[in-house]
A and B are shown apart, each in its own frame.
Chain A
Amino acid sequence: MKLVTAPSAVLSTPAEEVDPTDPAVVRLAEELIETMWASPGCVGLAAPQIGVSAQVFCVDVTGHPKAITTHGAFVLCNARIVEASRWRPGREGCMSVPDLTGDVKRAARIVVEGLRPGTGEPVTLETDAFEARALQHEIDHCAGKLFLDRVAGAHAIFPRKVYL
């Protein structure tokens, strides 16, 4: 699976909401998880990053040194942040922007609502630290936003120096 990299319209267009019970959405969820696990260092992937404009993403921060609360590997559809607090700066990179990193403020504590693919069951997820950052990054992808849209200042963009 080839990852879409910026510049690309699919990365900067707000994605459509999906029907989580649609078999195509279930297949997309599986594909996202497989691609995430096949990409070294990848802790999350949103549908626009594999060229599909849909509000679906997966996250798996299991074992990451900066994670506190973790929910394992999961996929959410049509996710929304309903609470966000404890804003902290941090430098982040993105598989879709391979040559840059940037300082971005993210909430270290969030509550997210979304739907599980397959059952369509509503989920409310409360998390913090690195998992919270990853969720905000992926929800941004679904809204057509990259970390570049949120950098802290004109001097907060850096060449990416460490390749995985």
Chain B
Amino acid sequence: MPELAITVIGPDRTGIVADVAEALAAVGANLTDSTMTRLRGHFTMTLICTGPPAADAERALVRLGAELLTTVREVEACPDRETGEPYLVSVHGADRLGIVAAVTRVVAAAGGNITDLTTRLTGPLYLLVAEVDLPPGREGELAEQLAVAAAELGVEVTLRHAESELL
């Protein structure tokens, strides 16, 4: 079944999620996986929905007003492919241009696939936390390369296994 990939960004306000979710439900869009968060006062939503044609969802969202920047795109269902082991990369230090580019390039070069990433800038402090799906046996190499990149950027970096305990 085709899915809809939807993004919504707008100035944060009370009720924004309720408005969007209600508009989508009204046209029969079933919200499956989503992530929604506030980034420096902008509320951002990235959603995968199933159900209606893209045009219906688009019309429903446009009716919510020009303050919300929305996109709707029909995409093929595409299951997550995770074959490695979960790791966490944390980077923090003085903000400068190119931290995300340099760190993620190193991760990609080691075969690591980023499955989740958050960055925050607070005052002079820049923070990046990423979940990485890493092929077995590449941890040492990635740790080494991250240390080199971190030294060049003048930031601190840690790589640790995101172990989970099955209970």
Residues of A whose CB lies within 8 Å of any CB of B are: 41-44, 66, 90-95, 101, 130, 133-134, 137-138, 147, 154-155, 158-162, 164
Contact = CB atoms under 8 A, between A and B. Distances in A.
A34 B82 CA distance: 32
Given A91-B162, A155-B118, A161-B86, A134 B167 contact: yes
B128 to A, nearest CB: 14
A93 B80 contact: no
Contact of A160 (B35, B84, B164): B164
A158 B131 contact: yes
Nearest to B162: A91
B86 A90 contact: no
B165 interface: yes
Interface in B144-167: 162-167
Interface of B: 35, 37, 80, 82, 84-86, 115-116, 118, 131, 133, 162-167
A interface SS class: mixed
Q: Across the A-B interface, give the 7 residue pairs with the lowest CB-CB distance, nearest first.
A: A101-B164, A91-B164, A137-B167, A161-B82, A93-B166, A161-B86, A93-B164
Nearest to B163: A91
Given A43-B165, A90-B165, A158-B131, 14 more contacts: A43-B166, A43-B167, A44-B167, A91-B164, A92-B167, A94-B167, A95-B166, A130-B165, A133-B165, A154-B37, A155-B118, A158-B162, A159-B80, A162-B85
Contacts of A154: 37
A93 B163 CA distance: 10
